[in-house]
Structure 1
Amino acid sequence: MKLVKLILVALLITSCGTVVNYDYEKSTNFNDYKSYNYFAEMKTGMSELDTKRLMRTMDAKLKTMGLTRSDNPDFYIDIISQDIQSRNNSNVGVEVGGGGGHVGGGISVGVPIGGNKRTRELAIEFVDDNKTGMFWQAISESRYNPNATPEKREEKFKAIVEKMFSSYPPKSK
């Protein structure tokens, strides 16, 4: 019984994590890119404060990776996000069964726990206007609390950025 509880807790913890998908142009020489900047007119889909938090977090991470923010960059970064609200659906099931001369039945009702969940899909795109266009992209989906404190939001962005950039630059095969 303890093992079942442990497995359920592990599944719950891993199901709430951030999921990240990556894609990139395989002909890209990532060593050519040393400086970046953000597109001037980004429509991030987030509040101005969240956009600033995310950009500060990305700047700090990219600096540790040897990239510098520049007015004359090698590539530009675009940030796109959208909030997704998923509803928990309850359901009702009716069962009838029998065997050995006995007939039985039952009704089950699914009750949603935790209410509606909100997730945010966040896309980070690296674009080289002079060469290949978009050459790298990471898309994450994670739970999101619109009423979180500024500190919690910043913490969440740090975790997302860390995970998104864990596979940059891609390893050549």
Structure 2
Amino acid sequence: MKKLTFLFIVFFITSCGTIVNYDYEKSTEFSNYKSYNYFDDMKTGLNELDTKRLIRAMDKKLKTMGLLKSDYPDFYIDIQSQDIQSRNQSNVGIGVGGGGGHVGGGVAIGIPVGMNKQTREIVIEFVDDSKTGMFWQAVSESSYNPNATPEKREAQFEALVEKIFASYPPKLEK
């Protein structure tokens, strides 16, 4: 029983985390990209303050990775996002029934567990206008609280950026 409880707790904690999916152009030589900037006409889908928080977190992380922000960059970054309100479909079923050759009936009760949660999908694309076009993309989905304090939002964006860039540049197979 202890193992079952432990597994349930581990599943619950890991199911609330951020999901990040990556895609990239496999012929890209990532070591050639040393400088970046953002598209001027980005429509991030975030409010202005959250856009600034996300860009600050990205600038900080990219700098630690050796990439420099430049007016004449090697590539541009595009950010898009959308809010998704998902209904929690989890429920607990309790049933009573008969069988084994006997005539019987059954009763089942569904009890919703949890509540609706809001998630935000953020798409970050690296684009080389002079060569290949888009060469790297990360799509993240994470829960968020629209009523969080500015400090909590800042911390959430920093954690999200850490997770997004954990696999950049991708390890290419040779």
TM-score normalized with structure 1 length = 0.92
Corresponding residue number in structure 2 for 1:70: 70
Distance 2:47 2:112 in 1: 30
Query: 1:90·1:110 contact (CA, 8 Å) conserved in 2?
Result: no
Percent identity of paired positions between Structure 1 and Structure 2? 70
Aligned to 1:13: 13
Alignment check: 8 A CA contact 1:90 1:109 kept: no
Partner SS, residue 98 of structure 1: coil
Q: State the distance in 1 between where 2:90 and 2:78 align.
A: 38
2-structure distance, mates of 1:89, 1:127 = 37
Q: Which deviations, in whole Å up to 9, do the C-alpha atoms of 1:65-85 show, x marking residues without a partner?
A: 000111111110000111111
Aligned-partner Cα distance in 1 for 2:97–2:114: 30
Q: What pairs with 1:97-116 in structure 2 (closer than 5 Å)?
A: 97-99=98-100, 101=102, 103-116=103-116
Q: How far apart, CA to CA, are the structure 1 residues paired with 2:15 and 2:90? A: 20
Shift of 1:99: 2.7
Letter in 1 for 2:164: M
Matched, 1:41 2:12: no
Aligned equivalents of 1:90, 1:10: Cα separation in 2 = 16
Instruction: Tell me how far apart the structure 2 counterparts of residues 156 and 142 of structure 1 sit (CA, whole Å).
Output: 10
The SS at the match of 2:54 is helix
Q: Within the alignment, does 1:140 sit opposite 2:140 as a pair?
A: yes
Q: Does 1:55 align with 2:59?
A: no
1:90 Cα deviation after fit: 7.5
> Equivalent residue for 1:83?
83
Q: Quickly say closer, same or farther: Cα 1:123–1:90, change in 2 above 3 A.
A: closer
**Alpha-carbon distance between aligned partners in 1 of 2:88 and 2:17, rounded to the nearest angstrom:** 18
- Give ranges in structure 1 of 5+ residues lacking alignment: none
- The answer to whether the 8 Å contact 1:44/1:80 transfers is yes
Q: SS at the partner of 2:112?
A: coil
The one-letter code sitting in structure 2 at the alignment partner of 1:105 is G
Provide the C-alpha distance between the structure 1 equivalents of 2:123 and 2:151, rounded to a whole number of angstroms. 22
Separation (CA, whole Å) in 2 of partners of 1:160 and 1:89: 25
Unmatched 5+ stretches in structure 2: none
